[in-house]
Amino acid sequence: MGCTVVAAALLGERAVVINVGDSRAYLLRDGQLRQISLDHSWIAERVAIGLLTPEEAAAHPGKNILTRNLGFSPETEPSVAELTLQDGDRLLLCSDGLYGVLEEREMEQLLRTEEAAAACSALIAAANARGTADNLSAAVFVMRADTGHSEAGGAGGWRARCARWFGRRA
């Protein structure tokens, strides 16, 4: 037995995202959604080296076989992605209960909601409406440039609005 994890540390205008397993991180920037995490699964590795197409992978019976997770081995190497954030960027951290039933274009559209909480609620509701067969979790961060002064006296800075939802399918 093991579990998956995806996490983000927001450091000013920089983000560091780590993941183990098949929980994912996405970045919505300028209307384009892209996955920034790597899936640690048997299927994803075969797609990466060209042995399977993404379409074949979606229907493959071994799509839930993980090659890395937390708990199976005492030492697990996470994937790490670093990025510089821009005003209006949106980060989505989620489990396969969300992206397994929603297409990326649907997630992209739902993430465009102005408030993080509304976007997160819309994503969860859409996955539940599709009858997700897996546990469901999501966190949405909307990045905003802060043009005011910080308490430390420095000008500028960043702030993130976050909404999260953890739980089981409806």
- Write down all domains in the chain, each with its CATH number in brackets: 5-167 (3.60.40.10)
pTM (two decimals): 0.83
Q: What span, in angstroms and rounded, lies between the C-alpha atoms of 25 and 34?
A: 9
Question: Quick check: 91 and 8 in contact, CB under 8 A?
Answer: yes
Element (H, E) at 14: strand 14-20
List 41's β-bridge partners, or say none: 66
Question: Quick check: 163 and 117 in contact, CB under 8 A?
Answer: yes
Residue pLDDT, tens place only, 46-80: 999 999 998 888 888 887 788 888 887 778 889 99
Residue pLDDT, tens place only, 78-92: 999 999 999 889 999
